[in-house]
Amino acid sequence: MNPRYKKIFEPIKIGSMLVKNRIITAPAAPRLASPEGLVSQELIEWTRALAKGGAGIVTVGISMVTPPVPGTSGYCVNMGSDHVINGLSVLADTVHRYGAKASIELAGFAFGHDMPEGMSPIDVMTQEEIDNWIELFADAAERACKAGMDMILLHGGHGILISNFFSPLFNHRTDKYGGSIENRATFACELLDAIRARVGNKLAIEFRLSASELIEGGIEIEETIEFIKIIQDKIDLVHVSAGLLLLDDIVPMVTQPTYFERGINAHFAASVKKAAGIKIPVTTVGSIDMELAAEIIEKDEADMFAMIRTVIADPNAVNNARTGKEEETRPCIRCVLCLNRTHGPAGIRVACAVNPKVGRELELKDEALKAEISKKVVVVGGGPAGMEAARSAADRGHDVVLFEKSPRLGGALNLAVAPDFKADLKDYLEWAIRMTSRHPKIHLRLSAEATPDKVLAEKPDAIIVALGAEGNIPPIPGLDGENVVWVGDVETGEAQTGNRVVIAGGGLTGCEVALDLARKDKKVTIVEMVSEKQMLEVSPIPMTAMLQLLKKENVTVLSGHKLLRAEENTVHITGENGEKTLEFDTLIVSLGVKPKTEEALTFENLVDDTYFIGDCASNRGTLYTATTAGYNAGRDI
């Protein structure tokens, strides 16, 4: 084990249980439960991967305590009925098999994405309704205990029910539940007492809270510390987060995309840990990886740390750190695809941009990893899809030859990793190149453009074509001008820009380049055809954060505007208020990509088993679709 991880893997006592290390898989909603809110085999296999990966505590996420209503479970575990106990006991046993402790998050209602105006729902709750909520939580905790769970996580943060009673934003009551800190803590105290009356010390209790709600008039750290002092004798572990989920502008501070530093909220846990009078262990959370966790634990700024995206990207991240195999850990790029899917309007099952197996653990469980017959496979293109396909096929035992016309693997990812704020993606790119290059069954042909003749000369049994895409330059007058450049050339540094920059296209790529240039003191304007609301739809959390950062850097975003034509140093656009012109020194075209379909089809019908994957086969290509298609192709040969 690397010495810097030593403290992470020291056991810790939480309540009456001994946990093997300081690592908790944070609660997530993979949307893998049954439609009725019962534990499914899919959820068990997802949980198995996390437990097998080495964490000390594995947490089932977002489990409602209200009785199930048909069609409204959101494919999350519902703890409001005794019917959940049987399946949950199987899940608990699965976690225990790998030496981990099983926890489940219990939650009440939230208001959606709109803050209440004036009176909030808790302001008008009757005593009978309050008592009913307490009974619901106590019932759910008792069911968890009967199922053999070791711990419950009470969600008392982020604008969820329990936190509303303590938050001055939501609680305007004038009875024993409102007013002073002590009064606003009353609901939590009564709830905790009711749970202890049911389960005693058979269950450890972790209490999740927002140390600061990150909004004027909301909870702040000083009140939080006093609140913890009030409840600490009733709980075993305090889980310190921040922010609200009710305001879209704050959500990126709860689940940070790659544009924000890792551990941006960890200082709140440090404040709690160091506060006089705090006697219980403290959990920190928020874009934590093993490196940052080692630093936090070493500085005694927390006792435990919770993470989920790190172990979604690679469930073996913990064991790899413990056994000195850190270089094999697939990095999370913090694109927030997982949360955009599970918490988006559709509420669909979890997936990961860099780990094609996520959410498919049951599907893949019984498939043979090794192929019955080893075959010769040629992969054309060394971008993310091609590399994933090559590794997947090689893992099956096939001999793989990978052609890449450039001297370096990575394809389009090499264009995107230049800005400092893309360090996560750069880490993933280096990992993918490293794991592809060192695989003993993969033979690289770099600086070698594939042709049908070269491919056939390898005598392949199967061909995987992953040629990617190229920049889309639409037939708009003036885009062939001297001061017009393609966004990819700006990303690589091949094209330099003047001081006044107009970017045609406000997708993530255009916005990322805009942010990078603005931080280099360029005056930047983005012209985007769709509305700002539609800009957010593609990737809500990262784009929300990006627009905030662009505003901070004084970038002008002209959404709802169409590019008409460009002249030498002027671009003509039109929007709701008619046509106008913008002056520029450099016009950057960032209007998406188009598949290399014709080039890809030159490899058609060379052999019976031919696969077209990634951007060359799709006009909606993403890193997720690239890695998933690559993995599937290699797996299916």
Q: What is the pTM of this model?
A: 0.95
Q: What is the mean pLDDT of residues 513-539?
A: 96
Q: Name 401's Cβ contacts closer than 8 Å, sequence gap at least 6.
A: 376, 377, 378, 379, 442, 443, 445, 458, 460
Of the candidates 99, 198, 186, 74, the residue with the CA atom closest to the CA atom of residue 144: 198
Domains of the chain: 3-363 (3.20.20.70), 367-471+595-636 (3.40.50.720), 484-591 (3.50.50.60)
pLDDT tens digits along 561-600: 999 999 999 999 999 999 999 999 999 999 999 999 999 9
Residue 557 has pLDDT above 80, yes or no: yes
Which pLDDT band holds residue 2 (cuts at 50, 70, 90)?
Answer: confident
Token pair belonging to 610: 């031919």
Cβ atoms of 314 and 44 closer than 8 Å: no
Of the candidates 2, 93, 1, 3, the residue with the CA atom closest to the CA atom of residue 39: 93
| Secondary structure of 116-173 in HEC code, one letter for each residue | CCCCCHHHHCCHHHHHHHHHHHHHHHHHHHHCCCCEEEEEECECCHHHHHHCCCCCCC
Which pLDDT band holds residue 110 (cuts at 50, 70, 90)?
Answer: low
Strands 57-64 and 23-25: parallel
Sheet holding 562-566, edge to edge: 562-566, 570-575, 578-583
Q: How many residues does the chain have?
A: 637
**What is the pLDDT, as a whole number, of residue 70?**
77
Residue 624 has pLDDT above 90, yes or no: yes
**What is the pLDDT, as a whole number, of residue 621?**
85
3-class SS at 323? coil
Residue 232 — φ and ψ, nearest 5°? -65, -25
Q: What is the mean pLDDT of residues 38-46?
A: 97
> Per DSSP, what are the bridge partners of residue 524?
501
Token pair belonging to 596: 């290399």
3-class SS at 582? strand
